[in-house]
Structure 1
């Protein structure tokens, strides 16, 4: 059954400036014919750009062509979707083109490598501009001539009027692609100011409100209700609302809370405490930005700049400077498939940087695969093949690219997990917690803005297990824990929302299925610890009245790591050099290698409320083999030193015995002991017992003295008995003096105990001798006022180079 061809339309475009459609047929102005679009979604995108070039760009159809090959380079040369010349005459002459537009039917951001056909044509045809467009986004590039040519992204594509004005064209060329990003960032600041002016909100309340509005927008987009987040929708709904109805913005927020219920971000009674008029104004500012479609670099960097400015002021305790974040993540070198956690995630900076780093690695591999696919498919065709064959080649290349690009998707259009390489990274490899709800919400939104990966972030106490965050699971832990606070024995597991762990059957079944037996053991341990001090979850906290929060996080981070896992943590310098915390350093030394210490300048955290002198510490958790070797080193050291220190103790006791038994030379006791010696009886202290101390510092021992006993075989039993009796009578009044002498001996023995411990540590350290990277950068890319950027001096890139060389050197030594 044939489809009736409609008549030729009176105009190239409809009355409203739209494309002519007739069922499955689409009018093609450049070909002056109707064409079916069944199975040709790319045709719709291409014709939409023909329309834009005419109506928005001022170009005529006569100076344009579509599906054009550069025949001067052979019939197999690249094909361009749309080519624009300076005039119809220049087109007829085959002159150099002004601009090439290459289109794809895929929905999503532009990936320049997918448009290599159009770029090749543009370069071959001498065009200076390339527009790469998908169904939902486009990017404009200025192409430089020569080899290798560069493609520099600029703000917008040039109109016909731009080409006629040299000054305008030069301005367009020099405008880097920052307009959308700056515009979105400005909108966020405008929203912030609006809330301050309309509702006298403090910066933190304003930030919370903007975050909630953004969550509403994201939820609406992901549910496909595109028209709901518009002023038009709000105005229409307002007509039908009754006085008893809840405000529409609160209804939308309640729906959003339900959508994100599993993320535990909002309390049931949380409200969006603004007026309908304010909400409408916020919507009017944000409605044209599609969070799901806008490229990650636009919305992510814009949100992070807005976030940084806000957090550096009122909320600085949740913000780690981006240059420090970059350095720590690059130093830890995460790779695809590794699990990463930040148990004190704050605004999510570390996790976002990990996501970006690994996603870039995946992207580079996919780009290499695209090149290989392109070369393999292209090799199957010849330059003089018929046009149909070459079109088949181009279609196969596009299909191969589309298939490879699937692995770059972090989530589905509905915001749910997808089984792609970036999807697995986003949903199964990145985890974080923060006990401050504002920080947790911010981290989630920050992750969404940078390309998703928010599913593993929770509002929860980072010291207590939740979801997939439990001991022995992670390859990398990277964090900047809170400084200056304390965890006391009054803070109990389960006493607050953020320290509790759900244990309803549905949750347990879901998590057990996802994480297996190890999760169940870790979960049961925390559930069984409810109403007990959080301190008791940790070896260094058990039985204590309190510990500094950052000290507990050291143990928490090491516990979270797999054997051999890597830790990067920011710690106050007092943890590294205070004598009172020597026990902590020794405790860590027996569980992990100290790989590096980078001392940060004082101004690094001066902008925040937690202005402290701090360092970055890199640790590598012992493997089972390392732990066994550590134990062997201790056994060897104690065995080697046992006889030496046993003799020291015996000599010390022998030197003190006379002073103890005679109460420091009492004449009566001296005489009695002489009389007893005459009948072969003398007092002695029992053999001392040296026992390990149950504590945090390995190798600690304590010597226990034996009680006084009488030794010898008396030659005169009656005299011996009388002498012992007399000794007791005379020593009773001198008990305090004897006790003081015993105390003096015990002090001397404790010194020997400490000396033995230090000697053991010295031997163990010799057998565990390894180099430690140390650096003291003078600048780290941030000023005392919190300013960052390429203009701020930063020594960390040089430190990173030195760190990598250090690691390579050590790896080669270990392999020898």
Structure 2
């Protein structure tokens, strides 16, 4: 049993304060008290951090759970802020009130909605501003009196910053754009998407792609660094139909630039389909942030969570969980200078995982060579690193048949690396015969690969990539029946067993599940000696009638690893049992040698069974327990710098106890790396 920790377990030294936070608790960012880790508390903590780090309000002027007197009741306001010159922290001096609710609370709820906020503001005589939020919806009110002294509540885009300058709320200057802290960008993304979904009558996927257009506009406006920002809406514009229309025209002009820049994913006549009212609201939520300069892990997490919530399970597209992608990429070990492809890239998860893996490995190597961390590099060293990161990004390629997923994939890459080239993600049915690819596609692809367009002729002339990481669409519901497609593949033909060996006939199959053809297409796309990590249904590995696929595969490639995944991996939407195969395409020399000898060279195969991937069949997280059924807890250190009451900086080390996710995928690459070393594999 683990030691039971008390809330006052605090150890203090001269310069370092260590705070132990028990599992299920969260330390308040403002007053330091330990509170229950609830959905409502999650919202409040993110707001507190935004008020301090983005709006620049002083912690000492903020109170949490501040008691108010409302008639005969004494409710507690979640957060109140007092003015700079305040000496008496009483109700009448409150300047700003913030009410934080859990997601399921509606802003129009009679007891806990915005009417509650108005009642709190009304009893605080000098309270001018208020904000109500449930993490998905945010409403900001300003209390003003008309000529007759009647109090009115006027809706604004956001709370003013600590300096009180309202003009920065309406039209932020480029230098005033802020980087969102922790999960605030995720909250903003969810707020925007849910607003589109609920007010425009769209399904989740169309709502997501309309939001994506707005994000493209936001990034384009930020990159136009020599001009004033045009991605904004003022509070007055937000209030009137005419003002909303003005704002939409302004954003639509930015979208015209976006369409020209990303002509391969946006049609010339494409437009933002959101109503002026909805678009204005979304812009108002995003305009104060700098998406470009936000830390990669912050914006990457926000985007991935939004993608995961809205783009799953259609047309055989069951997107690979992040931990499985990480496992596969680490095992295949892509390196700087290698061209990496996902032939059915979906929303770009494998592409981003591979790109960031290579960049991180390059950074570690550079830090070891220079003998110091990146934070201590010179300007020239950082510039050289950026150039290399750009080169790495430009070697990442993606194909997908779905134009909307191509947009999503490009945005995913841009969110994680502004150097990523949008030209390297192509809308393409990867199974089409190369001679049927459009002339425009072949021109752009040849340019990106540095080859001649005329060389793109057939399935035997497309071996361009060093590494492929992919999870192709699979299932009998989306079979390939086109004879032009089937005839390119040996696996598109009927095979018969003769004397214990499978032999290909000259008769085409009438229907083939796509994942079977993708195995062969991916090997065609690999250079000789190139390697691949591919997710496939277990039927390919075990069904007696599919033995010809296994025979074909081991004749053309070395299968170095097979990782058996649990049925819950793609749940709650798909229970197909799958495996990850790690294979290396045989070289021409190896094929000739084996043909001459009449048998294949012998080699060992790494095999592993993953029983747990961190979630169950309903998609809920599962955590490790000990032999007695008790949750296993681990200590996680979080370092921070604060200023104490004497004005001196103090390093704070918070040790938070966390449940350990029951995810075995994290161990596989470590064991596989040791196995590769013993086998003498150079990659």
TM bucket, shorter chain: 0.5 to 0.7
CA–CA distance in structure 1, aligned partners of residues 252 and 62 of structure 2: 51
| Structure 2 residue aligned with 1:459 | 427
Q: Are residues 535 and 354 of structure 1, via their aligned partners in 2, closer, same or farther at CA, if it must alter by over 3 Å? A: same
**1:95-244 superposed matches below 5 A:** 180-224=181-225, 225-232=227-234, 235=237
> Is contact 1:339–1:475 with CA below 8 Å preserved after alignment?
yes
Does residue 408 of the first structure (1) align with residue 392 of the second (2)? no
CA–CA distance in structure 1, aligned partners of residues 53 and 592 of structure 2: 65
SS in 1 for 2:487: helix
SS in 2 for 1:477: strand
| Structure 1 residue aligned with 2:488 | 537
Q: Are residues 314 and 207 of structure 1, via their aligned partners in 2, closer, same or farther at CA, if it must alter by over 3 Å? A: farther
Does residue 595 of the first structure (1) align with residue 546 of the second (2)? no
Q: Are residues 438 and 401 of structure 1, via their aligned partners in 2, closer, same or farther at CA, if it must alter by over 3 Å? A: same
What do residues 630-667 of structure 1 show as CA deviations (whole Å, max 9, x unaligned)?
11122xxxxxxxxxxxxxxxxxxxxxxxxxxxxxxxxx
1:473 positional shift: 1.5
- How many residue pairs match? The answer is 451
> Is contact 1:215–1:445 with CA below 8 Å preserved after alignment?
yes
| Structure 1 residue aligned with 2:337 | 337
Q: Are residues 215 and 318 of structure 1, via their aligned partners in 2, closer, same or farther at CA, if it must alter by over 3 Å? A: farther
| Structure 2 residue aligned with 1:770 | 603
Does residue 575 of the first structure (1) align with residue 526 of the second (2)? no
CA–CA distance in structure 2, aligned partners of residues 294 and 190 of structure 1: 18
Counterpart of 2:515 (choices 550, 568, 572) is 550
| Structure 1 residue aligned with 2:675 | 806
Counterpart of 1:449 (choices 399, 415, 424) is 415
What do residues 273-299 of structure 1 show as CA deviations (whole Å, max 9, x unaligned)?
111111110000011121111121111
SS in 1 for 2:569: helix
Q: Which moved more, 1:789-798 or 1:598-607?
A: 789-798
CA–CA distance in structure 2, aligned partners of residues 197 and 564 of structure 1: 51
> Is contact 1:299–1:449 with CA below 8 Å preserved after alignment?
yes
Does residue 480 of the first structure (1) align with residue 471 of the second (2)? yes
| Structure 1 residue aligned with 2:137 | none
**1:386-785 superposed matches below 5 A:** 401-409=378-386, 420-427=387-394, 429-452=395-418, 453-455=420-422, 456-464=424-432, 466=441, 467=445, 468=448, 471-484=462-475, 485-486=477-478, 488-490=480-482, 533-541=484-492, 543-608=508-573, 610-634=574-598, 764-765=599-600, 768-785=601-618
SS in 2 for 1:301: helix
1:460 positional shift: 1.7
User: Which structure's residues are more often strand, by fraction?
Assistant: 2
1:222 positional shift: 1.9
| Structure 2 residue aligned with 1:365 | 365
> Is contact 1:777–1:796 with CA below 8 Å preserved after alignment?
yes
SS in 2 for 1:189: helix
Q: Are residues 778 and 373 of structure 1, via their aligned partners in 2, closer, same or farther at CA, if it must alter by over 3 Å? A: closer
1:596 positional shift: 1.1
Q: Are residues 258 and 318 of structure 1, via their aligned partners in 2, closer, same or farther at CA, if it must alter by over 3 Å? A: farther
SS in 2 for 1:278: helix
| TM-score, structure 2 as length reference | 0.59
| Structure 2 residue aligned with 1:793 | 662
Q: Are residues 626 and 219 of structure 1, via their aligned partners in 2, closer, same or farther at CA, if it must alter by over 3 Å? A: same
Q: Are residues 406 and 776 of structure 1, via their aligned partners in 2, closer, same or farther at CA, if it must alter by over 3 Å? A: same
CA–CA distance in structure 1, aligned partners of residues 253 and 53 of structure 2: 41
Q: Are residues 558 and 331 of structure 1, via their aligned partners in 2, closer, same or farther at CA, if it must alter by over 3 Å? A: same
Q: Are residues 553 and 280 of structure 1, via their aligned partners in 2, closer, same or farther at CA, if it must alter by over 3 Å? A: same
CA–CA distance in structure 1, aligned partners of residues 245 and 415 of structure 2: 37
SS in 1 for 2:229: helix
1:368 positional shift: 3.0
1:373 positional shift: 11
Q: Please provide the CA RMSD for this pair.
A: 3.9
Q: Are residues 626 and 226 of structure 1, via their aligned partners in 2, closer, same or farther at CA, if it must alter by over 3 Å? A: farther
What do residues 211-256 of structure 1 show as CA deviations (whole Å, max 9, x unaligned)?
11111111222233452101139949x9999999995544433332
Q: Are residues 803 and 233 of structure 1, via their aligned partners in 2, closer, same or farther at CA, if it must alter by over 3 Å? A: same
Structure 1: gaps spanning 5 or more residues: 1-122, 130-139, 141-153, 169-177, 375-396, 410-419, 492-532, 635-763
1:363 positional shift: 1.4
Compare relative contact order (CA 8 Å, sep 6+) and give the higher one, 1 or 2.
Answer: 2
CA–CA distance in structure 1, aligned partners of residues 258 and 660 of structure 2: 41
| Structure 1 residue aligned with 2:304 | 304
1:615 positional shift: 0.8
| Structure 2 residue aligned with 1:259 | 261
| Structure 2 residue aligned with 1:283 | 283
Q: Are residues 203 and 314 of structure 1, via their aligned partners in 2, closer, same or farther at CA, if it must alter by over 3 Å? A: farther
CA–CA distance in structure 1, aligned partners of residues 417 and 378 of structure 2: 20
CA–CA distance in structure 2, aligned partners of residues 370 and 806 of structure 1: 30
SS in 1 for 2:317: helix
CA–CA distance in structure 2, aligned partners of residues 244 and 403 of structure 1: 44
**1:89-100 superposed matches below 5 A:** none
CA–CA distance in structure 2, aligned partners of residues 628 and 247 of structure 1: 64
What do residues 476-510 of structure 1 show as CA deviations (whole Å, max 9, x unaligned)?
1110000015554548xxxxxxxxxxxxxxxxxxx
CA–CA distance in structure 2, aligned partners of residues 633 and 257 of structure 1: 57
CA–CA distance in structure 1, aligned partners of residues 613 and 332 of structure 2: 17
1:318 positional shift: 4.4
CA–CA distance in structure 2, aligned partners of residues 190 and 286 of structure 1: 10
CA–CA distance in structure 1, aligned partners of residues 552 and 315 of structure 2: 33
CA–CA distance in structure 1, aligned partners of residues 547 and 57 of structure 2: 73
1:166 positional shift: 13
- Structure with max Cα Rg: 1
> Is contact 2:245–2:276 with CA below 8 Å preserved after alignment?
no
> Is contact 1:571–1:615 with CA below 8 Å preserved after alignment?
yes
Q: Are residues 537 and 488 of structure 1, via their aligned partners in 2, closer, same or farther at CA, if it must alter by over 3 Å? A: same
1:801 positional shift: 2.5
CA–CA distance in structure 1, aligned partners of residues 549 and 241 of structure 2: 66
1:352 positional shift: 0.6
1:164 positional shift: 11
1:314 positional shift: 6.8
> Is contact 2:230–2:251 with CA below 8 Å preserved after alignment?
no
1:776 positional shift: 1.3
CA–CA distance in structure 1, aligned partners of residues 219 and 545 of structure 2: 50
Q: Are residues 557 and 787 of structure 1, via their aligned partners in 2, closer, same or farther at CA, if it must alter by over 3 Å? A: farther
Q: Are residues 242 and 443 of structure 1, via their aligned partners in 2, closer, same or farther at CA, if it must alter by over 3 Å? A: closer
1:785 positional shift: 2.7
| Structure 1 residue aligned with 2:130 | none
1:539 positional shift: 3.3
SS in 1 for 2:512: strand
CA–CA distance in structure 1, aligned partners of residues 244 and 53 of structure 2: 48
What do residues 128-176 of structure 1 show as CA deviations (whole Å, max 9, x unaligned)?
89xxxxxxxxxx9xxxxxxxxxxxxx996799975899999xxxxxxxx
Q: Which moved more, 1:331-340 or 1:459-468?
A: 459-468
Q: Which moved more, 1:536-545 or 1:284-293?
A: 536-545
CA–CA distance in structure 1, aligned partners of residues 552 and 236 of structure 2: 61
